[in-house]
Amino acid sequence: MASSGNDNPSIPLSEWCEARYLGTNRGYGVVALKDIPESTTILTDNALIGIDEADTLSRRARRWIKRQYAALSDEQKQRFDALHCFISDEARIEIELKLRHIVGDEDGDGGARARARYLRNYERAHTFATNCFDVATSNTQAALFANASRFNHACWPSAEYDVRLPVGAQGDVGQAQWEAWAVRDIEAGEEITLNYSFRNKQRAERQSLLLKTWGFACTCSVCDLEGADQGAESRKFDADLRNLDSDMAEWDRISYVFRGWNNGEVNERLERLDTRIDLARDVGNQEILWKS
């Protein structure tokens, strides 16, 4: 196994990629082991923990996570514990305040062990919130996948992902399955990124939500565009991203609606997509030369 130092060994994920430590700023990230052609399935993963609760930091979610964590094997617990855990300053203050109220002495230690247990529950909930993915067909179900958790974010990513429940398992989020595929050719040695969320938002809003939810300032090629949050060009770019995204979503659905379209409608949509891609090219961002 390749290693970037004893503390942060690389983690094999699939024939296509491994999780590699990329430094204190990004932590682990997923890196291509060989050239990956567009559309290749890069990684599949099964849920370690799944919850059916929209607010992943709520009391109910914490109880759910605590129960499921307790049922994991030692090896699974270790994998969970090794994941990145982001706790915002606000949340830390809240946790601190709550810990001060734990003064019971059931363990004969002035509440020290009870406070440690309470803190661990909070940390697990934050680990879950930092790494979980929403289940595609649900507004409330979210699941954590140990390997999938190692992908870093980019606003214009090189891979897309999907989280599904197998047929017949709709009520059991613990059975969720995760899959990611390349949306463009990816070169050996390149970091593979996913878009965590907030795809349809303007740069400033994306940045602030990423900072609040995951604790980092995004420096991806889209966010790094010179003056990307001001000026006509950037507005055109942001609008283009939004429109391109909704067009892509429409194309995702094409297999279901295709039979209802005549050639004219299909051509019209293709032309719209072309225009968007041209607009995006105008802004000069190499990343969005999406293969059409």
Binding site for ligand SAM (CB under 6 A): 25-29, 83-84, 86, 130-131, 149-150, 152-154, 214-216, 218, 220
Cβ pair 174, 67 in contact under 8 A: no
What's the rounded Cα separation, in Å, for the pair 22 and 4? 9
What is the smallest separation between the CB atom of 25 and ligand SAM, expressed in angstroms?
6
Write down the least CB distance from residue 45 to ligand SAM, Å: 13
Q: For residue 241, what are the CA distances in angstroms to 134, 201, 229, 245?
A: 22, 9, 13, 6
Name the residue nearer to ligand SAM (CB basis): 115 or 150.
150
- 25 vs 139, beta carbon nearer ligand SAM: 25
In single-letter form, the type of residue at position 288 comes to: I
Q: Please report how close the Cβ of residue 167 comes to ligand SAM at its closest, in angstroms.
A: 28
The smaller minimum CB distance to ligand SAM, of residues 216 and 290, is found at: 216
C-alpha of 216 from chain center: 13
Beta bridge partners of 19: 11, 30
Q: How far is the CB of 23 from ligand SAM (least distance, A)?
A: 10
If the CB atoms of residues 175 and 213 are measured against ligand SAM, the closer one turns out to be 213
CB of 59 to ligand SAM, least distance (A): 23
Cα separation, 66 vs 48, in Å, equals 12
How far apart are alpha carbons 34 and 16 in whole angstroms?
Answer: 6
- Taking the least distance from each CB to ligand SAM, the nearer of 29 and 174 is 29
Closest Cα partner for 100 from 88, 86, 114? Answer: 114
Cα separation, 228 vs 226, whole angstroms: 5
206 contacts 217 by C-beta, under 8 angstroms: no
Give me the residue whose beta carbon is nearest to ligand SAM.
Answer: 27
Pick 115 or 153: Cβ nearer ligand SAM: 153
CB of residue 259 to ligand SAM, shortest distance in Å: 39
